[in-house]
Structure 1
Amino acid sequence: MTLPTARERALTLWQTYPRELVAAGALTLVVAAGGSAWSTPTFGDISEQRAEHVAPAPPPLLVRNLAPTEATTINQKIALASGPNPAAAPFSAAKAGTPAHAQALECLTQAVYYEAGNESADGQRAVAQVVLNRVRHPAFPSTVCGVVYQGSTRTTGCQFTFTCDGSLMRGPNLVSWKRSREVAEAALGGAVFAPVGLATHYHANYVVPYWASTLAKNAVIGAHLFYRWAGNWGKPPAFTQKYAKQEASAAVLKSTALAAFATRPVKAPTVVEEEVAEVIPGAEAGKAEPGRVVIRFKLEQAREAVEKAVELQTPKPYVEKMAASDNLRWTLSGKGPETAPQTPLGKAPTTAPATPAGD
């Protein structure tokens, strides 16, 4: 199978997330102030209906190219969201002793170990809670392994970095692995880590993802900052997805992720920059560690591009969509030409000169 080029990946990213890319580049704070009570989604005009009915796509893995100290300062300035921060409901759908539980336990243990192996017990519980919160949110897969390995075969798009940056090649420390497994087992058994509430995203305090200011920051646990969706998608009524109760093989997912990492072509930074800039208007790629792509935006160009992209996605009358001729427009609309000039078809006949008599 031919692996997608950086240009193809960037094109897919732009076509799939035009709004998200511009919002990420703008770093606009759109966190809604929480009210005193949760409400179910209400729908207004067509654009609002589209936004409310379709679950938000998980933002791609794009981080700002900042020094750790600068990133820490920026993260500290992002205030915690106001309003309630209810705890998630206990997760108990994966019954112990079943094949699905065994695979879910393996995947969740991997996430806890590789994402928070050096964190405190609370830091590990927080990561496990985010995974289970995602399982019950319609924006994500409905299985534990599906959530953990989502996007693991792509350079940009993996939701947990350890699945696409080669970390899985490191053999685990047995003591730390056992501790992570105990946390994962408790979470699958119904233990809830309330402080992170309904968080579905997190990142380390020394990096700043482009999406950081577009979500509602609702907890800081150890070295990680936790976020939930802003608006109705981050409230309890949105977490209605049922657990599938069938898990993929953790071993197969791991092998596939490692194979994708090992065969991923490495391109010179200049090539990546050219390909990204070519397909994402207003964007330019910067230097980043392997497995990540840092994209900066020229906001004016990006805004114009997304407006055009949205316009192209808006339904148009058939005659416009098909670039119909005038005759077809008149036929479909029932209105004939009112002042259109009538041009005769063909050429006017030419009169042969008369032959002089007597010739």
Structure 2
Amino acid sequence: MLIRQLPVDQALAINQGIALDTGPNPAARPFSLGKVDAATRSRALECLTSAVYYEAGQESTDGQRAVAQVVLNRVRHPAFPASVCGVVYEGSTRATGCQFTFTCDGSLSRGPALDAWRRAKSVAEAALAGYVYKPVGNATHYHADYVVPYWASTLTKNAVIGAHIFYRWAGDWGRSTAFSQDYSHREANVDALRAAALLAEQRDIATRGQSSEVAEAVAEIPGAQALAPSMRGDKRVAIRFNMTARKAADEAKHTDYVEQVKASDNLRWSLNGGMAAADEKPFGKAATQSPSATGTASGSPE
């Protein structure tokens, strides 16, 4: 989740300036795990409880219900995985980033507080049993009010619950009819998902600050921003350019290489792709023509 780096007061002001949609905000349909075995049900509950706890542990019960509703809304939307754990841990091992911050920022390495975990688990159990938190409607995205994600202005802001702002897709993808994906009735092993996420976090910590020389080099390029380290295991650095870079490139003064160095006439001629003058005499002896050179090229063979 890419965010604009802004002071908190400025971020709060920008978020308040984004109008809350005043149109219809229909509630989501009740979610049901259906006929699944005990292991699948336990895994779904574990993943949803983790999302509620780590994402909204300090929020009110309504604030936690809102986060749980977003997770389950995603499970039923074709843009996301069709399982609870798949939604919660989506992107947690990718260099492009996770969908839920707690799966890739080291939060999982901290053991939960027992009482707070029980409260989050109670909210998750109710949501998996069909409880619908109506105020967020079909929201599939949210963020804290002190950050400004790049995507915020492209979605429809449809609820503010506690310190979180909720959004649904604009257009048809945000309508109730779009939430047609069937639940997979399968959940991945939670211990494996957690371990993979923690290993990915350790990898990122080890490579995040690749070197001060790289950082300084990137900083000197107008409009350049270094992206997350490559997962290929090499030392290549991915760079993203914004409009500042394009403007700088357009306005940059170009000086030919031959003007930057003290090049000889021969080197200048070679670099400029020069052609010999029509009256320039070749070096060496004149070429002698072979007898066949005087024949024609159009006759038929004898």
Shorter-chain TM-score category? 0.7 to 0.9
Equivalent-residue separation in structure 1 for 2:47 and 2:92 (angstroms)? 13
Match of 2:115? 175
1:231-260 CA distance string (max 9 Å, x none): 111111111100000000111100110011
Q: 1:350 aligns with which of 283, 290, 293?
A: 293
Equivalent-residue separation in structure 1 for 2:244 and 2:144 (angstroms)? 26
Matches within 5 A, 1:155-234: 155-234=95-174
Match of 1:325? none
Is structure 2 residue 239 aligned with structure 1 residue 298?
Answer: no
Equivalent-residue separation in structure 2 for 1:64 and 1:240 (angstroms)? 33
Q: Indicate how the Cα distance of structure 1 residues 120 and 231 shifts in structure 2: closer, same or farther if over 3 A, else same.
A: same
The answer to whether the Cα contact below 8 Å between 2:225 and 2:241 also exists between their aligned partners in 1 is yes
Q: Which residue identity does 1:297 align to in structure 2?
A: N
Match of 2:54? 114
Deviation (angstroms), 1:157: 2.4
Match of 1:308? none
Equivalent-residue separation in structure 2 for 1:266 and 1:118 (angstroms)? 29
SS in 2 for 1:202: strand
The answer to whether the Cα contact below 8 Å between 2:218 and 2:225 also exists between their aligned partners in 1 is no
Equivalent-residue separation in structure 2 for 1:79 and 1:277 (angstroms)? 38
Is structure 2 residue 211 aligned with structure 1 residue 266?
Answer: no
Q: 2:94 aligns with which of 147, 151, 154?
A: 154
Equivalent-residue separation in structure 1 for 2:200 and 2:29 (angstroms)? 35
Q: Indicate how the Cα distance of structure 1 residues 174 and 97 shifts in structure 2: closer, same or farther if over 3 A, else same.
A: farther
Equivalent-residue separation in structure 1 for 2:291 and 2:68 (angstroms)? 85
Equivalent-residue separation in structure 1 for 2:241 and 2:162 (angstroms)? 29
Q: Indicate how the Cα distance of structure 1 residues 94 and 274 shifts in structure 2: closer, same or farther if over 3 A, else same.
A: farther
Q: 1:284 aligns with which of 212, 225, 230?
A: 225
Matches within 5 A, 1:53-64: 61-64=1-4
Q: Which has the higher contact order (CA 8 A, sep 6+)?
A: 1
Q: Indicate how the Cα distance of structure 1 residues 274 and 164 shifts in structure 2: closer, same or farther if over 3 A, else same.
A: farther
Which of 1 and 2 has greater Rg? 2
Match of 1:141? 81
Gaps of 5+ in 2: 228-237, 248-289, 296-302
Is structure 2 residue 175 aligned with structure 1 residue 235?
Answer: yes
The answer to whether the Cα contact below 8 Å between 1:62 and 1:156 also exists between their aligned partners in 2 is no
Matches within 5 A, 1:1-12: none
Equivalent-residue separation in structure 2 for 1:156 and 1:277 (angstroms)? 24
Q: How many residues align?
A: 241
Q: TM-score, normalised by structure 2?
A: 0.73
The answer to whether the Cα contact below 8 Å between 2:224 and 2:245 also exists between their aligned partners in 1 is no
SS in 2 for 1:150: coil
Equivalent-residue separation in structure 1 for 2:239 and 2:143 (angstroms)? 16
List structure 1 segments (4+ residues) > 6 angstroms apart after TM superposition. 275-278, 293-296
SS in 1 for 2:188: coil
Matches within 5 A, 1:312-351: 349-351=292-294
Equivalent-residue separation in structure 2 for 1:277 and 1:64 (angstroms)? 20
The answer to whether the Cα contact below 8 Å between 1:62 and 1:294 also exists between their aligned partners in 2 is no
Q: Indicate how the Cα distance of structure 1 residues 241 and 348 shifts in structure 2: closer, same or farther if over 3 A, else same.
A: farther
Q: TM-score, normalised by structure 1?
A: 0.62
SS in 2 for 1:139: coil
CA root-mean-square deviation: 3.0
Q: How many percent of aligned residue pairs carry the same amino acid?
A: 60
Gaps of 5+ in 1: 1-60, 287-292, 303-346, 353-359
Deviation (angstroms), 1:154: 2.4
SS in 2 for 1:225: strand
Equivalent-residue separation in structure 1 for 2:187 and 2:7 (angstroms)? 39
SS in 2 for 1:350: helix
Equivalent-residue separation in structure 1 for 2:11 and 2:41 (angstroms)? 38
